[in-house]
Amino acid sequence: MTLVTLDQVHVLQGARQVLDHVSLELRRGEIVTVVGPNGSGKTTLMRTILGALAPVSGRVTRHPDLRIGYVPQRLSIDATLPMNVARFLSLPRRQSPQTVAAALADADLSGMQDRPVATLSGGQLQRLLLARALLDAPDLLILDEPTTGLDQPGAAAFYRRIEAIRDTRGCAVLMVSHDLHVVMAASDRVICLNGHICCHGAPETVASAPEYRALFGSGTQGALALYKHEHSHTHHDHDHDHGSHR
Ligand SMILES: Nc1ncnc2c1ncn2[C@@H]1O[C@H](COP(=O)(O)OP(=O)(O)OP(=O)(O)O)[C@@H](O)[C@H]1O
């Protein structure tokens, strides 16, 4: 089932054209990652899909009654605010204890209802934002650079959790990421954006595309092969190029 379709979308930020002829489809159950250099329009694309920005031409079509859960890059919370996790998740709308418990379990924060938000680690706070995005049982989960500030093992664990949520809830996931190595392995499809869509497809296809390599160098494919090797414990004869990292 197609959840969102963008057809030849053009979006301006101020007078500047940021998205140019962008067409894509998001389908139920898939994990799609958008990669691209700084200023390439990734956040603009997320906000266009959310409906916060309108295209000047082209069309965005959302499935009727589509529910979108959004995980922002970061949240500025006043660290001195005396608020616990359960209360944070019941703002602005009251949620049942069961809904809160299920969202916390999916975000690997089981039993944390009474913890003051100010005492959470960076990784736990990120997962709290994930739990909040799960409260309304979204069909599509949008995450904008969700692992900013996490170290590589923390980011890898976060992406595995996202995969588990997709598997159990069946929602689609669209995310922006700079963690190229890990994310390439955790995605069904990758879209490489630089104002327009430079290339897209399976992670392996994108990692070896000349357009992608021109933007990110050639190191990622080797790291991808390495990650998959460790992850699956199978022994494929990948075209390793570990020596050529940027
Ligand atoms: N509100 C705005 N007004 C004017 N220009 C904007 C606005 N928001 C973004 N831009 C410009 O649009 C372009 C794309 O920005 P966007 O935030 O979508 O890129 P990005 O790929 O998410 O970047 P980054 O990786 O740095 O987060 C940039 O040149 C940015 O300066």
Atom 8 (ligand 1) nearest CA = 13
How remote is the CA of residue 42 from the centroid of ligand 1, in Å?
8
Select from 3.20.20.70, 3.40.50.720, 3.40.50.620, 3.40.50.300 the CATH code of 2-67+138-209. 3.40.50.300
Residues forming beta bridges with residue 172, ordered by sequence position = 140
pTM of the model: 0.85
Q: What is the pLDDT along the chain (246 residues), one digit of tens a residue?
A: 899 999 999 999 999 999 999 999 999 999 999 998 889 999 999 999 999 999 999 999 999 999 999 998 777 666 667 899 999 999 888 999 999 999 999 999 999 999 999 889 888 988 999 999 999 999 999 999 888 888 888 888 899 999 999 999 999 999 998 777 777 778 999 999 999 999 999 988 888 888 888 887 765 544 444 344 344 434 343 333 333 333
How remote is the CA of residue 54 from the centroid of ligand 1, in Å?
15
Ligand 1: residues with CB < 6 A are 13-14, 16, 18, 36, 38-44
- Is residue 207 a contact partner of residue 52, using CB atoms and an 8 Å limit? no
Atom of ligand 1 nearest to the CA of 45: 18
CA-to-CA distance for 55 and 70, rounded, in angstroms?
20
How remote is the CA of residue 39 from the centroid of ligand 1, in Å?
5
Please, which residues have CB within 8 angstroms of residue 27's CB and are 6 or more apart in sequence?
1, 2, 3, 172
